[in-house]
Chain A
Amino acid sequence: MTEKDTDSSPETGSDAAISRRDVLIVTGASIASAGIGGHGANAASSVANIEAPTAQSAKVRLSVNGVSHLLEIDNRQSILDVLRERLQLTGTKKGCNQGACGACTVHLDGKRVNSCLTLAVMHDGAAITTIEGLKQGDTLHPLQAAFVEHEGFQCGYCTSGQIMSGLACITEEHAQSVDDIRFWMSGNICRCGAYPGICAAVRATAQDA
Protein backbone atom coordinates (compact mmCIF):
# COMPACT_ATOMS: atom_id res chain seq x y z
CA MET A 1 0.00 0.00 0.00
CA THR A 2 1.19 3.51 0.59
CA GLU A 3 4.64 3.91 1.98
CA LYS A 4 5.04 6.35 4.82
CA ASP A 5 7.91 8.77 4.47
CA THR A 6 10.26 7.51 7.11
CA ASP A 7 12.55 10.46 6.52
CA SER A 8 9.91 13.16 6.70
CA SER A 9 9.41 14.53 10.15
CA PRO A 10 7.03 15.15 11.68
CA GLU A 11 3.93 13.76 10.01
CA THR A 12 1.41 16.49 9.44
CA GLY A 13 -2.27 15.81 9.88
CA SER A 14 -1.77 12.24 11.12
CA ASP A 15 -5.39 11.76 12.13
CA ALA A 16 -6.49 8.18 12.62
CA ALA A 17 -9.53 8.87 10.44
CA ILE A 18 -9.29 7.41 6.93
CA SER A 19 -9.48 10.12 4.28
CA ARG A 20 -11.17 9.85 0.90
CA ARG A 21 -7.70 9.90 -0.66
CA ASP A 22 -6.53 6.92 1.42
CA VAL A 23 -9.55 4.97 0.29
CA LEU A 24 -8.81 5.84 -3.36
CA ILE A 25 -5.17 4.80 -3.00
CA VAL A 26 -6.09 1.52 -1.33
CA THR A 27 -8.77 0.75 -3.91
CA GLY A 28 -6.46 1.57 -6.79
CA ALA A 29 -3.69 -0.61 -5.40
CA SER A 30 -5.95 -3.64 -4.95
CA ILE A 31 -7.34 -3.30 -8.45
CA ALA A 32 -3.80 -3.10 -9.78
CA SER A 33 -2.59 -6.18 -7.90
CA ALA A 34 -5.73 -8.16 -8.73
CA GLY A 35 -5.86 -7.24 -12.40
CA ILE A 36 -2.34 -7.24 -13.79
CA GLY A 37 -1.36 -10.84 -13.18
CA GLY A 38 1.78 -11.89 -15.05
CA HIS A 39 2.57 -8.35 -16.21
CA GLY A 40 3.17 -7.24 -12.65
CA ALA A 41 6.76 -8.48 -12.66
CA ASN A 42 7.54 -6.75 -15.97
CA ALA A 43 6.07 -3.50 -14.80
CA ALA A 44 8.14 -3.68 -11.63
CA SER A 45 11.38 -4.36 -13.49
CA SER A 46 10.82 -1.56 -16.02
CA VAL A 47 10.27 0.82 -13.13
CA ALA A 48 13.54 -0.43 -11.66
CA ASN A 49 15.29 0.25 -14.98
CA ILE A 50 14.05 3.80 -15.06
CA GLU A 51 14.91 4.36 -11.43
CA ALA A 52 18.33 2.72 -11.46
CA PRO A 53 20.45 5.44 -13.12
CA THR A 54 18.76 8.17 -11.09
CA ALA A 55 20.71 7.86 -7.91
CA GLN A 56 20.79 11.59 -8.61
CA SER A 57 19.06 12.95 -5.56
CA ALA A 58 19.83 15.25 -2.66
CA LYS A 59 18.87 15.90 0.92
CA VAL A 60 16.70 19.00 1.04
CA ARG A 61 15.27 20.85 4.00
CA LEU A 62 11.92 22.50 3.37
CA SER A 63 9.78 24.40 5.83
CA VAL A 64 6.16 23.85 4.84
CA ASN A 65 3.49 25.83 6.68
CA GLY A 66 5.96 26.30 9.51
CA VAL A 67 6.87 22.61 9.83
CA SER A 68 10.41 21.60 8.90
CA HIS A 69 11.02 18.51 6.78
CA LEU A 70 14.31 16.87 5.82
CA LEU A 71 13.76 14.85 2.68
CA GLU A 72 15.85 12.84 0.24
CA ILE A 73 14.57 14.14 -3.07
CA ASP A 74 15.00 12.92 -6.64
CA ASN A 75 16.37 15.78 -8.74
CA ARG A 76 13.37 15.56 -11.04
CA GLN A 77 10.76 16.16 -8.35
CA SER A 78 8.93 19.46 -8.41
CA ILE A 79 7.87 21.14 -5.21
CA LEU A 80 4.32 20.27 -6.30
CA ASP A 81 5.14 16.56 -6.36
CA VAL A 82 6.95 16.75 -3.03
CA LEU A 83 3.95 18.43 -1.43
CA ARG A 84 1.42 16.00 -2.83
CA GLU A 85 3.29 12.70 -2.98
CA ARG A 86 5.76 12.95 -0.12
CA LEU A 87 4.04 15.20 2.42
CA GLN A 88 0.45 14.22 1.56
CA LEU A 89 -0.47 17.92 1.28
CA THR A 90 -2.90 17.39 -1.55
CA GLY A 91 -4.64 20.76 -1.31
CA THR A 92 -2.20 22.07 -3.94
CA LYS A 93 -3.43 20.77 -7.29
CA LYS A 94 -1.71 19.53 -10.43
CA GLY A 95 -3.50 20.99 -13.44
CA CYS A 96 -1.40 21.40 -16.58
CA ASN A 97 1.99 20.59 -15.00
CA GLN A 98 3.56 23.13 -17.38
CA GLY A 99 3.12 26.49 -15.71
CA ALA A 100 0.06 27.52 -17.70
CA CYS A 101 -2.92 27.07 -15.36
CA GLY A 102 -1.88 28.23 -11.87
CA ALA A 103 -3.62 25.39 -9.97
CA CYS A 104 -0.30 24.57 -8.29
CA THR A 105 0.34 28.10 -6.96
CA VAL A 106 2.09 28.22 -3.59
CA HIS A 107 4.11 30.89 -1.80
CA LEU A 108 7.83 30.19 -1.95
CA ASP A 109 9.85 32.42 0.37
CA GLY A 110 6.90 34.81 0.41
CA LYS A 111 6.27 34.97 -3.35
CA ARG A 112 3.65 33.21 -5.42
CA VAL A 113 5.11 30.70 -7.86
CA ASN A 114 4.03 27.76 -10.00
CA SER A 115 5.20 24.83 -7.88
CA CYS A 116 5.03 22.49 -10.90
CA LEU A 117 7.98 24.28 -12.55
CA THR A 118 10.03 24.48 -9.38
CA LEU A 119 12.61 21.75 -8.75
CA ALA A 120 12.72 21.00 -5.03
CA VAL A 121 16.47 20.31 -5.06
CA MET A 122 17.06 23.92 -6.09
CA HIS A 123 15.26 25.23 -2.99
CA ASP A 124 17.06 23.79 0.02
CA GLY A 125 16.10 25.85 3.07
CA ALA A 126 13.03 27.42 1.46
CA ALA A 127 9.86 28.35 3.33
CA ILE A 128 6.66 27.29 1.58
CA THR A 129 3.08 28.20 2.38
CA THR A 130 0.28 26.11 0.90
CA ILE A 131 -3.48 26.30 1.13
CA GLU A 132 -3.30 24.01 4.20
CA GLY A 133 -1.31 26.72 5.99
CA LEU A 134 -3.95 29.45 5.79
CA LYS A 135 -6.66 28.62 8.29
CA GLN A 136 -6.20 29.41 11.97
CA GLY A 137 -7.44 26.40 13.91
CA ASP A 138 -10.98 25.82 12.67
CA THR A 139 -11.37 29.36 11.35
CA LEU A 140 -11.04 29.88 7.61
CA HIS A 141 -8.70 32.58 6.37
CA PRO A 142 -10.78 35.66 5.39
CA LEU A 143 -10.02 35.04 1.70
CA GLN A 144 -11.16 31.41 1.99
CA ALA A 145 -14.38 32.61 3.66
CA ALA A 146 -14.83 35.21 0.91
CA PHE A 147 -14.56 32.51 -1.78
CA VAL A 148 -17.45 30.71 -0.07
CA GLU A 149 -19.41 33.94 0.41
CA HIS A 150 -18.97 35.11 -3.23
CA GLU A 151 -19.15 31.67 -4.85
CA GLY A 152 -15.64 31.92 -6.26
CA PHE A 153 -15.71 28.36 -7.59
CA GLN A 154 -17.84 25.65 -9.09
CA CYS A 155 -15.89 22.38 -9.33
CA GLY A 156 -13.22 23.68 -6.95
CA TYR A 157 -10.16 22.20 -8.65
CA CYS A 158 -8.43 25.52 -9.33
CA THR A 159 -9.56 27.08 -6.05
CA SER A 160 -6.52 26.50 -3.84
CA GLY A 161 -4.32 28.03 -6.56
CA GLN A 162 -6.76 30.92 -6.97
CA ILE A 163 -6.72 31.59 -3.23
CA MET A 164 -2.92 31.45 -2.92
CA SER A 165 -2.60 33.74 -5.94
CA GLY A 166 -5.37 36.04 -4.68
CA LEU A 167 -3.68 36.39 -1.33
CA ALA A 168 -0.42 37.40 -3.03
CA CYS A 169 -2.37 39.77 -5.25
CA ILE A 170 -3.70 41.53 -2.15
CA THR A 171 -0.32 41.75 -0.37
CA GLU A 172 1.31 43.02 -3.59
CA GLU A 173 -1.39 45.75 -3.65
CA HIS A 174 -2.59 44.55 -7.04
CA ALA A 175 -6.21 44.29 -5.94
CA GLN A 176 -7.19 47.96 -6.20
CA SER A 177 -10.02 47.34 -8.69
CA VAL A 178 -11.66 44.46 -10.52
CA ASP A 179 -9.64 45.32 -13.67
CA ASP A 180 -6.49 45.29 -11.58
CA ILE A 181 -7.42 41.89 -10.15
CA ARG A 182 -8.26 40.47 -13.57
CA PHE A 183 -4.81 41.44 -14.88
CA TRP A 184 -2.86 40.29 -11.81
CA MET A 185 -4.82 37.03 -11.45
CA SER A 186 -4.40 36.10 -15.12
CA GLY A 187 -1.99 33.28 -14.25
CA ASN A 188 -4.88 31.32 -12.72
CA ILE A 189 -7.29 29.68 -15.11
CA CYS A 190 -10.80 28.58 -14.04
CA ARG A 191 -12.44 26.30 -16.57
CA CYS A 192 -15.82 26.61 -14.82
CA GLY A 193 -15.63 30.34 -15.47
CA ALA A 194 -16.14 31.46 -11.88
CA TYR A 195 -14.14 34.61 -12.55
CA PRO A 196 -16.75 37.16 -11.38
CA GLY A 197 -16.97 35.41 -7.99
CA ILE A 198 -13.19 35.07 -7.75
CA CYS A 199 -12.69 38.78 -8.48
CA ALA A 200 -15.42 39.72 -5.99
CA ALA A 201 -13.86 37.56 -3.25
CA VAL A 202 -10.39 39.03 -3.77
CA ARG A 203 -11.73 42.59 -3.99
CA ALA A 204 -13.86 42.22 -0.84
CA THR A 205 -10.96 40.76 1.14
CA ALA A 206 -8.61 43.51 -0.07
CA GLN A 207 -11.10 46.15 1.04
CA ASP A 208 -11.46 44.60 4.49
CA ALA A 209 -7.70 44.12 4.94
Chain B
Amino acid sequence: MMPFTVAQVASEREAITSAGGGGRYIAGGTTLIDLMREEVERPSSLVDINRLSLRHIRLERNALVIGALARMAEVAAHPEVRRVHPLIAEALEEGASPQLRNMASIGGNLMQRVRCPYFRMLDAACNKRSPGSGCAAIEGVNGGHAILGTSESCAATHPSDLAVALVALDATMRVRGPQGERRFPIIDLYRLPEDKPHLEHTLRPAELILDVHVPVQPFAVSGRYLKVRDRSSYEFALVSAAAVLDVRNGVVRAARVACGGVGTRPWRMPAVEAALIGQRPTRANFETAAAHATQGARALSGNGYKIALLPRTITRALEMAGEKV
Protein backbone atom coordinates (compact mmCIF):
# COMPACT_ATOMS: atom_id res chain seq x y z
CA MET B 1 0.00 0.00 0.00
CA MET B 2 1.33 3.46 -0.89
CA PRO B 3 1.70 5.96 1.95
CA PHE B 4 -1.12 8.43 2.55
CA THR B 5 -2.30 10.98 5.07
CA VAL B 6 -5.64 10.84 6.87
CA ALA B 7 -7.63 13.99 7.62
CA GLN B 8 -10.25 13.68 10.36
CA VAL B 9 -13.01 16.16 9.59
CA ALA B 10 -15.84 17.31 11.84
CA SER B 11 -18.07 19.23 9.42
CA GLU B 12 -19.28 18.98 5.83
CA ARG B 13 -17.53 22.26 5.04
CA GLU B 14 -14.23 20.91 6.38
CA ALA B 15 -14.71 17.66 4.46
CA ILE B 16 -15.37 19.46 1.17
CA THR B 17 -12.35 21.72 1.68
CA SER B 18 -10.11 18.72 2.37
CA ALA B 19 -11.44 16.85 -0.65
CA GLY B 20 -11.00 19.99 -2.75
CA GLY B 21 -7.30 19.80 -1.91
CA GLY B 22 -7.12 16.33 -3.46
CA GLY B 23 -8.30 14.05 -0.61
CA ARG B 24 -10.48 11.00 -1.20
CA TYR B 25 -13.52 10.49 1.00
CA ILE B 26 -13.49 7.32 3.06
CA ALA B 27 -16.29 5.88 5.22
CA GLY B 28 -16.45 2.08 5.66
CA GLY B 29 -13.45 1.61 3.39
CA THR B 30 -14.46 -1.89 2.33
CA THR B 31 -13.79 -1.19 -1.36
CA LEU B 32 -11.20 1.55 -1.12
CA ILE B 33 -8.79 -0.09 1.35
CA ASP B 34 -8.88 -3.32 -0.61
CA LEU B 35 -8.07 -1.49 -3.87
CA MET B 36 -5.37 0.61 -2.16
CA ARG B 37 -3.68 -2.53 -0.91
CA GLU B 38 -3.69 -3.84 -4.50
CA GLU B 39 -2.40 -0.40 -5.60
CA VAL B 40 -5.25 -0.09 -8.08
CA GLU B 41 -6.14 3.03 -6.09
CA ARG B 42 -3.30 5.27 -4.90
CA PRO B 43 -4.74 8.29 -3.11
CA SER B 44 -2.11 10.35 -1.30
CA SER B 45 -4.67 11.58 1.21
CA LEU B 46 -7.91 10.29 2.69
CA VAL B 47 -10.69 12.33 4.25
CA ASP B 48 -12.34 10.34 7.04
CA ILE B 49 -15.98 11.48 7.01
CA ASN B 50 -17.28 9.11 9.69
CA ARG B 51 -17.76 11.90 12.25
CA LEU B 52 -20.24 13.79 10.08
CA SER B 53 -23.91 13.65 11.06
CA LEU B 54 -25.05 11.74 8.00
CA ARG B 55 -26.19 8.51 9.60
CA HIS B 56 -29.92 9.34 9.70
CA ILE B 57 -32.67 6.99 8.54
CA ARG B 58 -36.09 8.63 8.69
CA LEU B 59 -39.46 8.89 7.09
CA GLU B 60 -40.23 12.40 5.87
CA ARG B 61 -43.51 13.50 4.33
CA ASN B 62 -43.28 11.63 1.04
CA ALA B 63 -39.91 10.00 1.20
CA LEU B 64 -37.68 7.62 3.05
CA VAL B 65 -34.41 9.47 3.67
CA ILE B 66 -31.22 7.49 4.21
CA GLY B 67 -28.00 9.25 5.28
CA ALA B 68 -24.87 8.54 3.26
CA LEU B 69 -23.05 7.23 6.34
CA ALA B 70 -25.78 4.84 7.52
CA ARG B 71 -24.36 1.33 7.35
CA MET B 72 -25.86 -1.33 5.07
CA ALA B 73 -26.74 -3.54 8.07
CA GLU B 74 -28.54 -0.82 10.00
CA VAL B 75 -30.55 0.29 6.96
CA ALA B 76 -31.54 -3.30 6.17
CA ALA B 77 -32.66 -3.90 9.78
CA HIS B 78 -34.50 -0.60 10.18
CA PRO B 79 -38.21 -1.23 10.85
CA GLU B 80 -39.42 1.73 8.74
CA VAL B 81 -37.24 0.69 5.81
CA ARG B 82 -38.61 -2.86 6.00
CA ARG B 83 -42.16 -1.57 6.25
CA VAL B 84 -42.24 0.99 3.41
CA HIS B 85 -39.46 -0.28 1.15
CA PRO B 86 -38.87 -4.01 1.70
CA LEU B 87 -37.10 -4.05 -1.67
CA ILE B 88 -34.26 -1.95 -0.22
CA ALA B 89 -33.88 -4.21 2.83
CA GLU B 90 -33.84 -7.32 0.66
CA ALA B 91 -31.34 -5.92 -1.85
CA LEU B 92 -29.03 -4.90 1.02
CA GLU B 93 -29.21 -8.25 2.80
CA GLU B 94 -28.50 -10.12 -0.42
CA GLY B 95 -25.25 -8.17 -0.82
CA ALA B 96 -21.82 -8.72 0.74
CA SER B 97 -21.44 -10.51 4.12
CA PRO B 98 -22.71 -9.61 7.59
CA GLN B 99 -19.27 -8.26 8.55
CA LEU B 100 -19.02 -6.10 5.43
CA ARG B 101 -22.60 -4.87 5.86
CA ASN B 102 -21.70 -3.68 9.37
CA MET B 103 -18.87 -1.62 7.88
CA ALA B 104 -20.01 -0.43 4.44
CA SER B 105 -21.89 2.86 4.13
CA ILE B 106 -24.74 3.65 1.78
CA GLY B 107 -22.74 6.36 -0.01
CA GLY B 108 -19.79 4.01 -0.42
CA ASN B 109 -22.01 1.21 -1.65
CA LEU B 110 -23.30 3.44 -4.46
CA MET B 111 -19.75 4.57 -5.29
CA GLN B 112 -18.15 1.10 -5.21
CA ARG B 113 -15.95 0.21 -8.13
CA VAL B 114 -16.32 -2.66 -10.58
CA ARG B 115 -15.46 -6.30 -9.86
CA CYS B 116 -13.98 -7.09 -13.27
CA PRO B 117 -10.91 -9.23 -12.45
CA TYR B 118 -8.76 -7.36 -14.98
CA PHE B 119 -9.49 -4.06 -13.25
CA ARG B 120 -7.66 -5.42 -10.20
CA MET B 121 -4.80 -7.02 -12.16
CA LEU B 122 -2.13 -4.37 -12.56
CA ASP B 123 -0.45 -6.11 -15.49
CA ALA B 124 -3.67 -6.57 -17.50
CA ALA B 125 -5.07 -4.08 -20.01
CA CYS B 126 -7.93 -2.09 -18.50
CA ASN B 127 -9.28 1.18 -19.88
CA LYS B 128 -10.95 1.93 -16.58
CA ARG B 129 -7.77 1.67 -14.51
CA SER B 130 -5.36 2.84 -17.19
CA PRO B 131 -7.15 4.81 -19.95
CA GLY B 132 -6.16 3.78 -23.46
CA SER B 133 -4.55 0.49 -22.42
CA GLY B 134 -7.35 -1.66 -23.88
CA CYS B 135 -9.82 -4.12 -22.39
CA ALA B 136 -8.58 -7.59 -21.49
CA ALA B 137 -12.10 -8.78 -20.66
CA ILE B 138 -13.59 -8.39 -24.14
CA GLU B 139 -11.34 -11.17 -25.51
CA GLY B 140 -10.76 -12.78 -22.11
CA VAL B 141 -12.71 -14.28 -19.21
CA ASN B 142 -16.02 -12.42 -19.38
CA GLY B 143 -18.72 -14.73 -18.04
CA GLY B 144 -19.70 -12.18 -15.41
CA HIS B 145 -19.72 -9.18 -17.72
CA ALA B 146 -22.45 -6.94 -19.04
CA ILE B 147 -24.71 -7.45 -22.07
CA LEU B 148 -26.27 -3.98 -21.97
CA GLY B 149 -24.55 -0.61 -22.21
CA THR B 150 -21.17 -2.06 -23.18
CA SER B 151 -18.68 -0.47 -25.56
CA GLU B 152 -15.48 -1.54 -27.31
CA SER B 153 -13.68 -0.08 -24.28
CA CYS B 154 -15.41 -1.74 -21.31
CA ALA B 155 -18.03 -4.32 -20.38
CA ALA B 156 -17.78 -4.37 -16.58
CA THR B 157 -21.05 -4.48 -14.64
CA HIS B 158 -21.86 -2.15 -11.80
CA PRO B 159 -21.83 -4.41 -8.71
CA SER B 160 -24.25 -2.65 -6.32
CA ASP B 161 -27.54 -4.40 -5.52
CA LEU B 162 -28.73 -1.36 -3.59
CA ALA B 163 -28.30 0.85 -6.67
CA VAL B 164 -30.58 -1.48 -8.66
CA ALA B 165 -33.30 -1.20 -6.00
CA LEU B 166 -32.94 2.58 -5.77
CA VAL B 167 -33.08 3.02 -9.54
CA ALA B 168 -36.27 0.93 -9.64
CA LEU B 169 -37.78 3.13 -6.92
CA ASP B 170 -36.93 6.47 -8.65
CA ALA B 171 -34.69 7.52 -5.76
CA THR B 172 -32.76 10.76 -5.82
CA MET B 173 -29.46 11.74 -4.23
CA ARG B 174 -28.56 14.94 -2.40
CA VAL B 175 -24.95 16.06 -2.67
CA ARG B 176 -22.96 19.09 -1.54
CA GLY B 177 -19.79 20.49 -3.08
CA PRO B 178 -17.77 23.68 -3.32
CA GLN B 179 -20.55 25.18 -5.49
CA GLY B 180 -23.34 24.25 -3.10
CA GLU B 181 -26.03 21.64 -2.88
CA ARG B 182 -27.89 19.81 -5.65
CA ARG B 183 -30.19 16.82 -6.02
CA PHE B 184 -30.61 14.44 -8.96
CA PRO B 185 -32.01 10.98 -9.80
CA ILE B 186 -29.63 8.18 -8.78
CA ILE B 187 -29.74 6.73 -12.29
CA ASP B 188 -27.92 9.91 -13.41
CA LEU B 189 -25.04 9.22 -11.01
CA TYR B 190 -23.77 6.51 -13.36
CA ARG B 191 -22.19 7.05 -16.77
CA LEU B 192 -22.10 4.57 -19.61
CA PRO B 193 -18.50 3.56 -20.38
CA GLU B 194 -18.55 4.59 -24.09
CA ASP B 195 -14.94 5.47 -24.94
CA LYS B 196 -14.13 6.83 -21.47
CA PRO B 197 -14.75 4.01 -18.97
CA HIS B 198 -12.45 5.67 -16.43
CA LEU B 199 -15.19 8.29 -15.95
CA GLU B 200 -17.70 6.29 -13.92
CA HIS B 201 -19.94 8.82 -12.24
CA THR B 202 -21.20 12.38 -12.52
CA LEU B 203 -20.15 13.76 -9.14
CA ARG B 204 -18.13 16.97 -9.46
CA PRO B 205 -14.78 17.33 -7.70
CA ALA B 206 -15.09 17.29 -3.89
CA GLU B 207 -18.86 16.68 -3.96
CA LEU B 208 -20.01 14.80 -0.87
CA ILE B 209 -23.07 12.52 -0.87
CA LEU B 210 -25.40 13.67 1.92
CA ASP B 211 -28.36 11.33 1.62
CA VAL B 212 -30.68 9.34 -0.58
CA HIS B 213 -34.40 10.16 -0.93
CA VAL B 214 -36.75 7.35 -1.90
CA PRO B 215 -40.33 8.37 -2.74
CA VAL B 216 -42.87 6.45 -0.67
CA GLN B 217 -45.70 4.89 -2.65
CA PRO B 218 -48.19 2.48 -1.11
CA PHE B 219 -47.57 -0.21 -3.74
CA ALA B 220 -43.84 -0.30 -2.94
CA VAL B 221 -44.65 -2.86 -0.23
CA SER B 222 -44.80 -5.41 -3.05
CA GLY B 223 -41.12 -4.85 -3.89
CA ARG B 224 -38.89 -7.89 -4.22
CA TYR B 225 -35.26 -8.46 -5.18
CA LEU B 226 -34.16 -11.68 -6.82
CA LYS B 227 -30.44 -12.30 -7.14
CA VAL B 228 -29.16 -15.19 -9.25
CA ARG B 229 -25.54 -16.14 -8.59
CA ASP B 230 -23.00 -18.93 -8.34
CA ARG B 231 -23.74 -19.59 -4.65
CA SER B 232 -26.76 -18.69 -2.60
CA SER B 233 -25.22 -15.95 -0.47
CA TYR B 234 -22.17 -13.68 -0.30
CA GLU B 235 -21.65 -13.47 -4.04
CA PHE B 236 -22.12 -10.86 -6.73
CA ALA B 237 -25.08 -11.18 -9.09
CA LEU B 238 -24.90 -12.94 -12.42
CA VAL B 239 -28.35 -11.46 -13.02
CA SER B 240 -30.59 -9.72 -10.52
CA ALA B 241 -34.01 -8.12 -10.77
CA ALA B 242 -35.87 -5.63 -8.61
CA ALA B 243 -39.62 -5.73 -9.20
CA VAL B 244 -42.49 -3.66 -7.82
CA LEU B 245 -46.11 -4.07 -8.90
CA ASP B 246 -49.27 -2.04 -8.38
CA VAL B 247 -52.21 -4.31 -9.10
CA ARG B 248 -55.78 -3.05 -8.75
CA ASN B 249 -58.93 -4.96 -9.71
CA GLY B 250 -56.78 -7.74 -11.11
CA VAL B 251 -54.91 -5.47 -13.52
CA VAL B 252 -51.36 -4.04 -13.38
CA ARG B 253 -51.62 -0.27 -12.91
CA ALA B 254 -47.90 0.43 -12.43
CA ALA B 255 -44.68 -1.56 -12.53
CA ARG B 256 -41.06 -0.84 -11.68
CA VAL B 257 -38.34 -3.14 -12.96
CA ALA B 258 -34.56 -2.69 -12.79
CA CYS B 259 -31.76 -5.21 -13.18
CA GLY B 260 -28.21 -5.82 -12.01
CA GLY B 261 -25.40 -8.01 -13.31
CA VAL B 262 -26.34 -7.26 -16.90
CA GLY B 263 -25.60 -3.58 -17.45
CA THR B 264 -22.57 -1.35 -17.22
CA ARG B 265 -24.73 0.62 -14.83
CA PRO B 266 -27.89 -0.32 -12.89
CA TRP B 267 -30.39 -0.98 -15.64
CA ARG B 268 -33.98 0.26 -15.56
CA MET B 269 -36.34 -1.66 -17.86
CA PRO B 270 -38.95 0.84 -19.17
CA ALA B 271 -40.04 -1.41 -22.09
CA VAL B 272 -40.79 -4.26 -19.67
CA GLU B 273 -42.73 -1.91 -17.39
CA ALA B 274 -44.77 -0.49 -20.29
CA ALA B 275 -45.68 -3.97 -21.51
CA LEU B 276 -47.12 -4.86 -18.10
CA ILE B 277 -49.52 -1.92 -17.80
CA GLY B 278 -53.14 -2.98 -18.21
CA GLN B 279 -52.27 -6.69 -18.18
CA ARG B 280 -53.41 -9.32 -15.71
CA PRO B 281 -50.55 -10.39 -13.39
CA THR B 282 -50.08 -13.87 -14.81
CA ARG B 283 -46.89 -15.78 -15.52
CA ALA B 284 -47.58 -15.72 -19.26
CA ASN B 285 -47.98 -11.94 -19.24
CA PHE B 286 -44.83 -11.53 -17.13
CA GLU B 287 -42.89 -13.66 -19.64
CA THR B 288 -44.16 -11.63 -22.59
CA ALA B 289 -43.22 -8.38 -20.89
CA ALA B 290 -39.83 -9.67 -19.70
CA ALA B 291 -38.87 -10.59 -23.27
CA HIS B 292 -38.42 -6.84 -23.91
CA ALA B 293 -35.50 -6.78 -21.45
CA THR B 294 -32.93 -8.01 -23.93
CA GLN B 295 -33.59 -5.37 -26.61
CA GLY B 296 -30.16 -4.20 -27.73
CA ALA B 297 -28.32 -6.80 -25.64
CA ARG B 298 -24.95 -7.90 -26.96
CA ALA B 299 -23.14 -10.96 -25.66
CA LEU B 300 -19.39 -11.49 -25.38
CA SER B 301 -17.75 -14.92 -25.73
CA GLY B 302 -18.61 -16.08 -22.19
CA ASN B 303 -21.81 -14.36 -21.11
CA GLY B 304 -24.40 -15.37 -23.73
CA TYR B 305 -26.30 -17.27 -21.04
CA LYS B 306 -27.35 -13.93 -19.56
CA ILE B 307 -29.55 -13.25 -22.59
CA ALA B 308 -31.63 -16.28 -21.59
CA LEU B 309 -31.29 -15.78 -17.85
CA LEU B 310 -32.31 -12.11 -17.78
CA PRO B 311 -35.97 -12.45 -18.86
CA ARG B 312 -36.41 -15.53 -16.67
CA THR B 313 -35.06 -13.69 -13.64
CA ILE B 314 -37.40 -10.77 -14.29
CA THR B 315 -40.37 -13.13 -14.71
CA ARG B 316 -39.67 -14.78 -11.37
CA ALA B 317 -39.10 -11.46 -9.60
CA LEU B 318 -42.46 -10.24 -10.97
CA GLU B 319 -44.13 -13.41 -9.70
CA MET B 320 -42.60 -12.82 -6.27
CA ALA B 321 -43.84 -9.21 -6.25
CA GLY B 322 -47.23 -10.40 -7.49
CA GLU B 323 -47.58 -12.65 -4.45
CA LYS B 324 -47.40 -9.60 -2.19
CA VAL B 325 -50.05 -7.42 -3.84
Which residues does A use to contact B, with CB under 8 Å? 53-54, 56, 58, 75-76, 78, 97-99, 102, 105, 111-114, 117-119, 121-122, 165, 168-169, 172, 174, 182-188
Residues of chain A contacted by B305 (CB below 8 angstroms): none
Q: Is the CB of B234 within 8 A of A187?
A: yes
**CB of B307 within 8 Å of the partner chain:** no
Cβ-defined contact, A56 with B97, below 8 A: no
CA distance A121 to B26 in the complex (A): 12
Complex interface: chain A residues within 8 A of B46 (CB): 75
The one of A56, A102, A112, A174 that contacts B102, using a Cβ cutoff of 8 Å? A112
Determine whether B48 belongs to the interface, using a CB cutoff of 8 Å to chain A. yes
A99 and B34 form a contact (CB under 8 A): yes
Instruction: Produce 1/0 per residue, B36-60, CB < 8 A to A.
Output: 0110000000101010000000000
Other 20 A-B pairs with CB < 8 A, given A78-B33, A119-B33 = A53-B3, A56-B3, A75-B5, A75-B6, A76-B1, A99-B34, A99-B100, A102-B99, A114-B30, A119-B6, A119-B29, A121-B6, A122-B6, A122-B29, A122-B50, A165-B98, A183-B232, A186-B98, A186-B233, A187-B100
Give 7 pairs: A residue, B residue, CB < 8 Å, sorted on A: A58-B6, A76-B1, A99-B30, A118-B29, A119-B6, A121-B6, A187-B96
Interface residues on B, range: 20 to 34
Min Cβ gap B33→A in Å is 5
A66 and B46 alpha carbons, distance in the complex (Å): 30
Among candidates B26, B30, B34, B234, residue contacting A122 with C-beta atoms closer than 8 Å: B26
Which 6 A-B pairs rank lowest in CB-CB distance, beginning with the nearest?
A187-B97, A186-B234, A186-B233, A54-B3, A111-B102, A76-B1
User: Which residues of B are at the interface with A, using a C-beta cutoff of 8 A?
Assistant: 1, 3-6, 26, 29-30, 33-34, 37-38, 46, 48, 50, 73, 96-100, 102-103, 232-234
Q: Which residue of chain B has the shortest Cβ distance to A164 in the bound complex?
A: B99
* A17 CB, min distance to chain B CBs, angstroms: 33
A106–chain B nearest beta-carbon distance, Å: 9
Interchain CA distance A182-B234 in the complex, whole Å: 11
The answer, among A58, A112, A121, A122, for a CB contact under 8 Å with B98, is A112
Which chain B residue shows the least CB distance to A185? B98
* Residues of chain B within 8 A of A121, CB atoms compared: 6
Contact A186 B4 (CB under 8 A): no
From B34, which residue of chain A is reached at the shortest CB distance? A98
B100 touches A114 (CB 8 A): yes
